[in-house]
Amino acid sequence: MPSPAPQPVAQLAVPRRTGRVRAVAAVASIALSVALAATGCTVGGPQHSDGTMPSSAATADTARVSSAPLETTTTSSTSNTIPVYWLGHSGSDVFLYREFMTDNVKDDPIVAALETMMSMRPLDPDYFTVWKKPSRLGASISAQNVITVDISSDAFSSNVDQGIAERSVDQLVYTATAAAAMAGLIDPTQSVQVSILVDGHTGYSAFGKVDLDRPLARDPRYIAPIWIIDPANGASLKAPVKVSGQAVSITGTLQWQLLAVANGTAGRIVSSGTVTIGGGANQLGAFSFSLMPAPGSYELRVFTVDPSAPTISAGVDSKAITVN
C-alpha cells in the first residue's frame, strides 16, 4: 500500500532581509587559569577559517554521545523565538550549538528557522554558518515523521571542505527537527528524519561533498561537548546570574571561570569553580550553577580538563555578559 502523501507545511519564496551572514568563529583550547590571568585574553579568542576543519580535528568527547534528544514544546519560554543551530569552533574541532532567534517574519516555523540559519547572524560571534541565503525554500512533513526540505541550489555556493560540509548538512537537520518539535508538528515519541531536496530533486551533492540521497537523522557526534545554553551571549542581567547548559566529559565534572572584561579584553579571573554534569562521567547531561558578581562586564567560560593533560582546557564555550 503506498505511503500517505506528505502534508504541506509551507512552500513559499523566502522574504528578503538585509542581514548578511557573519562568518566569524573563535574558541580555541585555552591555557591554565593562571596563564590567562597573567596574559589577558581577547574576548572570543583567535579567529579560525570557517570553510575548513582544523587539521587536528577530533571528537573524543562527543563520540561518547549515543543520541541527540529533540527539543520539546517547552524548550523555550519565549513564544516569539525559533531554534537555530550554528557551527562553532572549539579547540581543534567544529560542533553544533543552538540559539533562540527572534521570529519577526512569522513564517512556518521550519521555514523561518532555516531561512534565519542561512541569512542571519548568530548572537554569539563564536558561532558561524557557511550557508547562503536561498532564492527558494519550502518544507513539508509526512505522516511518517519525515520532514522534507526543498531548497534552491544557490544556498550551497560556499567553498568548504568535507568536514564543514558534513556538519553544515547536520546543522540543517538539527534546525529543521528542532523547529518542528518545538512547534508540535511531529510525533516526539517516534524517530524523525529530514529529506533534503534541491530544486525539487533528490541526490544533489551538498557543497560538492555530501550526497543528499537518503533521509537523514541527527548525528550525535556533532553535538558540542560543552554548551552554555543560558545566559545567551550579550545578555544583560542582574545578580544572581543563573548559568545552565549541557556537556559531556570523561570525569563528569566541569571547570568554570568568570573573567573581568575591559576594553574588549578578558583578563582578571573574578571567580572560578567546578560543577557536576547531571549524567555523570562519559554521559551527556545538564549542568547549572549560580554567580553573584558585582556590576560590570564579564566573560563566562566553561570547560573541561583531562586528568592526563591537566594544563590544557578543552571544549571551551564562552559568553560575554553584563551584570547591572
Q: What is the pLDDT of residue 21?
A: 28
Q: What is the pLDDT of residue 65?
A: 65
Fold assignment, 226-323 = Immunoglobulin-like (2.60.40)
| Cα(140)–Cα(26) distance, integer angstroms | 35
Q: What is the pLDDT of residue 81?
A: 86
Q: What is the pLDDT of residue 77?
A: 59
Q: What is the DSSP string of 194-207?
A: EEEEETTBS-EEET
| Cα(314)–Cα(225) distance, integer angstroms | 9
- Residue 28 makes CB contacts below 8 A (sequence gap 6+) with 45, 46, 48, 89, 91, 316
To the nearest 10°, report the CA torsion of 172, 153, 124, 166: 50
Neighbouring CB atoms inside 10 A of 242's CB total: 12
Q: What is the pLDDT of residue 90?
A: 80
Q: What is the pLDDT of residue 78?
A: 65
Q: Give span(s): CATH 2.60.40.650, the chain.
A: 226-323
Residues paired with residue 257 on neighbouring β-strands, in sequence order: 272, 301
Nearest Cα neighbor of 54 from 18, 20, 102, 89 is 89
| Cα(269)–Cα(308) distance, integer angstroms | 24
Burial call 63-75: b when 16+ CB within 10 Å, e when fewer: ebbeebebbeeee
Q: What is the pLDDT of residue 105?
A: 62
Q: What is the pLDDT of residue 186?
A: 93
Q: What is the pLDDT of residue 275?
A: 97
Instruction: Tell me the mean pLDDT per 10 residues along the chain, length 324.
Output: 42 32 29 33 46 62 65 76 92 88 79 94 91 96 96 96 96 97 91 97 97 96 91 93 93 95 90 94 92 96 85 88 96
Cis peptide before 46 (omega within 30 of 0): no
Q: What is the pLDDT of residue 1?
A: 46
Q: What is the DSSP string of 223-283?
A: B-SEEEEESPTT-EE-SSEEEEEEE--SSSEEEEEEEEEETTEEEEEEEEEEEE-TT-TTS
- Residue 27 makes CB contacts below 8 A (sequence gap 6+) with 44, 45, 88, 89, 90, 91, 126, 316, 317, 318
pTM for the structure as a whole: 0.80
Q: What is the pLDDT of residue 50?
A: 80
Q: What is the pLDDT of residue 55?
A: 62
Q: What is the pLDDT of residue 312?
A: 81
CB 6 within 8 A of CB 194: no
For cell 512547534, the residue is: 183
| Cα(235)–Cα(241) distance, integer angstroms | 10
